[in-house]
Amino acid sequence: MRVLCPYCPRRCSIPEGGRGFCGSFANRGGRLVNLGYGKVSAIESRPIEIKPFYHFWPNSTAMTFSGYGCNMSCPWCQNWPLSRGRPEWAPRVVEPWEIAERAVKAGDQGVCASFNEPIVFGDYLVDVFRESKKMGLYTTMVTNGYTTLEFLSELVSAGLDAMSIDVKGCPESYRRFQHVLDPEPVFAVIEEALRRGVHVELVFLIVPGANDSEECLRWAFKRAFEASGPETPVHVNRYYPSYRYSAPPTGLDSLLGAARMAREEGFHYVYVGNISDWELSTTRCPSCGHPVIRRRNFRVVDVDLRNGRCPVCGHRIPLRGRVIGFNSKRK
């Protein structure tokens, strides 16, 4: 007897003894079994800016954890040993409360599921978020956003605070490289997450020959803007060769051109990442251009805000949480 997996829009119909696309869910005796529950591949404290989150608890740190497997198939995956790995590689199960406890002991402000696709953790992710909330921590995830609205609802109910969502491009790039026929579920997740009060930041990895054409980018930015609106932060990131994709790194002109398109579409906060020019990670007031948050090496180095507003023109800068270590400078 086959079982249906409810965690992502692939809705894998898994035969007895088989696994779904991601490799984490299996059919054992007609029951859906999460082979990846607690099978953690990495755990370490990391700056929230590296995720990237620029408007969520700036300058904080999160206990970052990952598993094995992914429900997409990027040939340029930077973390392919994890995304293409198997849960049975993990030496032991890390209980949900252990993640939260390690965050507290490290002095972190929250936890973050990252590195591989967190959706494949399934109910383990829900349990980690619940345990983290008990300890007063924020909860975040770095994801491709390709999940069901039902599972998103479970995550929100468990205390999900923020999502960094990687938009892979236009329908053609999703079909060609992700084997996803329709990217609309990703935009539905963006809309629903925002509607339910989850902080969302969007990432566009610009991959030469895959999603970097003007037509593809304009479609992606337009659809993302429709789903999220002007105040959602956008990160335009440089690709580097990895795994099975050998095109040269994204050119700076391509990155700056993509950032310009995002602004033309209406996004107020557009950043360029995975490069050494830290000026492009500065948060500027969209009204007058004044720099209100400067960053370097994924850390905040200067803050110039007054009660959450630009000190020059008074424009409100949307931030969730406080800037860690800069309370005295936020007048």
Confidence (pLDDT) at 328: 41
Query: Cα Rg for the chain, rounded, in angstroms?
Result: 19
Confidence (pLDDT) at 185: 98
The pTM of the full predicted model, rounded to 2 decimals, is: 0.97
Intervals of CATH 3.20.20.70 along the chain: 37-281
Report the pLDDT averaged over residues 259-282. Answer: 97
Confidence (pLDDT) at 95: 98
Separation in Å, CA 90 to CA 42, 82, 125, 299 = 9, 11, 16, 31
Report the pLDDT averaged over residues 5-23. Answer: 97
Quick: pLDDT tens for 143-182.
Answer: 999 999 999 999 999 999 999 999 999 999 999 999 999 9
- Percent residues over pLDDT 70 in the chain: 98
Residue 48 near residue 323 (C-beta atoms within 8 A): no
What average pLDDT is seen over the chain?
97
Fold of 37-281: TIM Barrel (3.20.20)
Whether the per-residue pLDDT at 7 is higher than 80: the answer is yes
Residue 110 near residue 57 (C-beta atoms within 8 A): yes
Report the pLDDT averaged over residues 32-58. Answer: 98
Whether the per-residue pLDDT at 286 is higher than 80: the answer is yes
Whether the per-residue pLDDT at 331 is higher than 80: the answer is no
- DSSP secondary structure string for all residues of 223-275: HHHHHH-TTS-EEEEE---BTTB-PPPPPHHHHHHHHHHHHHHT-S-EEEESS
Quick: pLDDT tens for 200-248.
Answer: 999 999 999 999 999 999 999 999 999 999 999 999 999 999 999 999 9
- DSSP secondary structure string for all residues of 130-147: HHHHHTT-EEEEEE----
Quick: pLDDT tens for 121-154.
Answer: 999 999 999 999 999 999 999 999 999 999 999 9
Confidence (pLDDT) at 327: 66
Which two structure tokens, joined as six digits, stand for 178? 């992700």
Confidence (pLDDT) at 303: 97
